Amino acid sequence: MTMVNITMNGQKISAPAGSTILQAAKQVGIDIPTLCDHPALVSIGACRICVVEVTGQRTLITACTFPITEGMEIQTESPQVVKARKLILDLLFSERNHYCPMCQMSGDCELQNLGYRYGIDHWIYPTYTKGFPVDASRKYFFMDHNRCVLCGR
C-alpha cells in the first residue's frame, strides 16, 4: 500500500494514497466535524461543516471529498475555518425548526452539539420555517422535514 505524507495541524501524518483529508484525520484521532458523512454513503460535501484550510488552495475545501496529496499542509481549526463553520451553522439554524438551546434532545443531536462546540446560542439571521409535513408512514422512524438540514443521510 502506497502511503502519502501530509501535515495536519502541524502534525506529520502518513495515510494511504487515495484517502480523503477526513479519513486521514480520523486515522490519527483529529476530529473534523461533519453532518453528512456516513460510511454507507458516497461523500458529497453537502453539509460543508468539514471545511478545512489547505496551503495553496484559494478557498476552504471539504475534508470529506478532497483527496490527500504528498506534502499537503492542512489546518482543521484555523480562525478562517472556525469562522466559516460558524457561518454555515448560523445559516442551517436560520432555516427550518432548529431551536437547539431549548431542544429536548439535550445533547443527543449532532447539530445541537456543533452549535454548542462553536458557541452558537442565538441566531444572527431571522429564522424561516415554511412548515413541511412530517412523514410518519414508517414503522420504526419518522421523517420531520422541518428539522432536516439536507445532509443527504
Strand pairing partners for 95?
128
Q: How far apart, in whole angstroms, are the C-alpha atoms of residue 22 and residue 24? A: 5
Q: Is the Cβ–Cβ distance between 49 and 85 less than 8 Å?
A: yes
How high is the pLDDT of residue 76? 98
Per-domain residue ranges of the chain: 1-153
Q: How far apart, in whole angstroms, are the C-alpha atoms of residue 7 and residue 24? A: 10
Q: Is the dihedral of CA 72, 73, 75, 81 positive or negative?
A: negative
Please report which confidence band the pLDDT of residue 62 belongs to, taking 50, 70 and 90 as the band edges: very high
Segments in the chain forming alpha helices (H): 21-27, 79-94, 110-117
Question: How much of the chain, in percent, has pLDDT values that exceed 90?
Answer: 48
The three three-digit cell numbers of residue 139, written as one number: 414503522
pTM of the model: 0.81
Topology (CATH) of 1-153: Ubiquitin-like (UB roll) (3.10.20)
